[in-house]
Amino acid sequence: MHAFFQIAAYVIIAYMLFSSLSYLLLFLLAFRKVKREDKLDRRESTEDFLGNQNTYPVSILVPAYNEEVGVVSTVRSLLALEYPEKEVIVIDDGSKDQTSERMIEAFNMKQIPFAVRTHIETAEITAIYQSTVFPYIRLIKKANGGKADALNAGVNLSSYPYFCAIDGDSILENDGLLKTMKPIIESDGQIIVTGGSVRIANGSTISRSKVEIIDLPKNPVVLMQIVEYFRAFLIGRLALSHLNILLIVSGAFGVFNKERVIQAGGYNKNTVGEDMELVVRLHRLLREEKSKQRIEYIPDPVCWTEAPESLEVLRSQRIRWQRGLFETLWSHKKMMLNPKYGAIGLVSMPYFLFVELLGAVFEFTGYFIIFGGFFFSLVDPNTAGVLFLVTIFYGSLISALAVLLEELTLHKYPKASHLARLYFWALTEAFWYRPLMVLWRVQGIFAAFQKKAHWGDMKRKGISS
């Protein structure tokens, strides 16, 4: 038995080192891209696109389920967007609260007759409202069908060739949509999907649907999520996008070519990870067509969202995310290690399987061996000590590098004390936060074998006054 655990410890150490090297490689790729772009003028004006006839009009889709606290603030932030032609469509997916009533009252909306172009099958639409103050704002009321179904209803009723999907608890910066659409416009449509950075708004002062003062929250659980978002967006997505093998655009904020999405069949209603699954399916479609079109991540445009403040809600969110990852990889398993799909099949799919999905299983086993090594002599104490140090390196130091990339790219947190606090909490990650994430991610894998999928409730405080 001792020999078995000793061998298992060596396997876990090797895996942790491999994963750490993978993250370091991604960091170097992201850092290289950041330094190259740093030579360009970050303040390059986008004003030319405001009056440019080639600036594609965009439909902004806001799926909402029980979002009475934040949906009006989100729509008000969309009104302030610097973009020449847009429409805003809020889809109330059978909310049990006052989501629709808040929208109708805030924007003086009236019910209008409608006919649905059914590009994608959805649950029944019961009513459509239009603002009498801002005619380009509409509200769709429909039977509950889940977030993917709500987005599909929005796609069906949208008027424009591109749509932006944004969560009902999120706020876009004024130039966020313009900056996200800029690479699509400049590529003459060769880029079919773009996604921007998502930042956590908890702790910041947001009034009149605009970020007035950027600050950090006091809650350590939220602080660690800020660091985690840095790692996911600035290391993972920036590097993978550079290689054109990005498999996920945040469900909180992404822009899509509508024709391509309809061609791919719309959002999948049978997964809780509908955002990632659609991006993978679009990659699959492009590879099978041998198309040169791309999917790209843009680090500069920022969408502010509300993060869970309680461990209970955070647990539910992370289990759902991990389940969505499992379901997506399983749905597209034929792409795994398949040369037909190029670097997507040979690099990106295996990375998400072995590092992002199964990494939780390896880490969970590693914690068990560390605990058993120190207290029950299951392995040699020196081996347990090495595994402990590797675990700290794997979690905390990589997160600290992500904080560094934030400073090099967006500079969103203006005070030196902000970065000092974030560095401190990043270095504590392996001792309390990461073990919780690992446990919940393992639970998410088991949850993938359950049948029922739902939005996942989150208690909102609201991020704007």
| Cβ pair 198, 176 in contact under 8 A | no
Whether 265 shows a pLDDT value over 80: the answer reads: yes
Number of Cβ within 10 Å of residue 144's Cβ equals: 15
DSSP at 340: G
Residue with tokens 């590797």: 390
Q: What angle do CA 168, 173, 177 make, to 5 degrees?
A: 85
Give residue 125's Cα distance to chain centre.
27
The β-bridge relationship of strands 191-200 and 205-207 is unpaired
Query: By the 8 A CB rule, do 92 and 224 touch?
Result: no
Whole-number Å distance between alpha carbons of 392 and 397: 7
Cα–Cα distance, 251 to 193 (Å, whole number): 12
Task: Output the pLDDT for position 252.
Answer: 84
CA distance 382 to 365: 17
Which tens digit of pLDDT belongs to each residue from 38-96?
655 444 556 666 666 668 999 999 999 999 998 998 999 899 898 999 999 999 999 99
Least confident of 103-112, 194-203, 397-406, 452-461: 452-461
Q: Average pLDDT for residues 109-135, to the nearest whole number?
A: 94
Q: What local confidence, expressed as pLDDT, does residue 296 receive?
A: 94
Tens digits of residue pLDDT in 219-255: 999 999 999 999 888 888 889 998 999 999 988 889 9
Helix (H) or strand (E) holding 314: helix 311-331
The pLDDT assigned to 50 comes to 64
Domains and CATH numbers, the chain: 1-31+343-449 (no CATH), 53-340 (3.90.550.10)
Which one-letter amino acid corresponds to residue 220? P
Query: Which residues have CB under 8 Å from 140's CB, separation 6+?
Result: 89, 90, 91, 92, 125, 127, 128, 153, 154, 157
Q: Mean pLDDT throughout 373-381?
A: 82
pLDDT score recorded for residue 43: 47
pLDDT of 454 over the 70 cut = no
CA distance from start to end of the chain: 60
DSSP element (H, E) containing 284: helix 274-289
Measure the CA–CA gap between 327 and 324, rounded to whole angstroms. Answer: 5
Q: How many helices (H) and strands (E) does the chain have?
A: 17, 12
What is the identity of the amino acid at 203? G
How high does pLDDT run on average in the chain? Answer: 89
How many angstroms separate the CA atoms of 404 and 385, rounded? 28
3-state secondary structure of 103: helix
Classify each residue of 360-374 as buried b or exposed e, where b means 16 or more C-beta atoms within 10 Å of its C-beta: bebbbbbbebbeebe
In this prediction, residues 273-292 reach a mean pLDDT of: 96
Look at residue 429 in the predicted model and tell me its pLDDT.
Answer: 92
Spatial contact of 63 and 74, defined as CB atoms under 8 Å apart = no
Angle at CA 394, nearest 5°, toward 388 and 400?
A: 120
Question: With bands split at pLDDT 50, 70 and 90, how would you rate the model's confidence at 458?
Answer: low
Contact between 131 and 251 (Cβ < 8 Å):
no
pTM: 0.92
In the predicted structure, residue 264 carries a pLDDT above the cut 70:
yes
Least confident piece of the model among 45-59, 95-109, 327-341: 45-59
